[in-house]
Amino acid sequence: MWQYEFMQNAWIAATVISILCGIMGVFIVARQLAFLTHTLSEIGFAGASFGVWLGWTPLNGMLLFTVLSALTAGTLDRDKPVKDTLISLISAFFMGLGVLFLAISKAGTAYATNILFGSIVGISHHDVNQIILIAGVEFLVILVLYRRLKFAFFDPLGAQSSLQHGGLISLCFLVMMSLSVSVVSQIVGSLLVFALLTLPAAAAQFWGHSVHALMAWSIIFALLGTWLGLACGYWTNLPVTFFITTIETLIYLISAGLHRYWS
């Protein structure tokens, strides 16, 4: 397994993305942003299709659309929450837009499948370098803003009254979330982003009682899902995405069951 370059690339990308998901997922779950994550992933599908139409890599097109969407969302009036109906409308529009871009680019169905459900074994060395660069930038921003992010996401009422530049911090996080959605899509596809960005962090809530512990458990669960998923996909020649999502789901269900049994 290790002698193949595509598996080496896949393993490196999966490890970096899992660590990123473990950290970002804790904040996403804390503020119940899973639905927004799913919306960004569908916008990312349109971006990836747009990239294919222009001759870019799908990741570059996805980055363009998700970052612009995050910046737009960050300028909205936070005192007037966006209705679920409007979010659903936006999701449906961008999914349709993605189908249009694929049609006019005359890309094959394989492109659509890879964008929607991921193709980690098809990640090139260039893709790995790009993923590492994006993740490195996010790690640096999280390190700089860690205390403020923790305050804003785990004590929102206190943050509203005493945290300076709260709007700018929220905007930075939205941009980081859009970057995370784009790189995670390289593994599980745009439709199943929540599997890595929310399930490990959700399962970690049954084990950790501090932010550091939540992140540690979340990273462990994300790594378990991707590493085991890669190995199972290699041994069985079945889709890696299926194994990753199944393992993450089982981890969550087992964690929830053990928590209920012990309590």
217-242 pLDDT per residue, tens: 999 999 999 999 999 998 998 888 89
Instruction: Give yes or no for residue 78 having a pLDDT over 60.
Output: no
Cα distances (angstroms) measured from residue 111 to each of 50, 114, 182, 250? 12, 5, 16, 29
Please state, in angstroms and rounded to a whole number, the distance separating the CA atoms of residues 44 and 61: 8
The candidate with the shortest Cα–Cα distance to 26, out of 135, 150, 175, 160, is 150
State mean pLDDT over 16-39. 91
**What sign does the CA torsion over 4, 5, 10, 15 have?**
positive
The candidate with the shortest Cα–Cα distance to 204, out of 225, 234, 178, 177, is 225
pLDDT band at 108 (very low <50, low <70, confident <90, very high): low
Please state, in angstroms and rounded to a whole number, the distance separating the CA atoms of residues 55 and 52: 5
Angle, vertex CA 23, rays to CA 20 and CA 25, nearest 5: 95
The candidate with the shortest Cα–Cα distance to 197, out of 7, 11, 8, 39, is 39
Please state, in angstroms and rounded to a whole number, the distance separating the CA atoms of residues 29 and 235: 33
Cα distances (angstroms) measured from residue 60 to each of 127, 185, 228? 10, 12, 28
Count of domains in the chain?
1
Instruction: Give yes or no for residue 37 having a pLDDT over 60.
Output: yes
pTM of the shown model: 0.87
Please state, in angstroms and rounded to a whole number, the distance separating the CA atoms of residues 129 and 145: 24
The candidate with the shortest Cα–Cα distance to 41, out of 6, 90, 110, is 90
State mean pLDDT over 163-177. 81
pLDDT at residue 166, as a whole number:
65
Domain hosting residue 222, numbered range: 5-262
CATH number at residue 93: 1.10.3470.10
125-160 pLDDT per residue, tens: 888 899 999 999 999 999 999 988 888 888 776 666
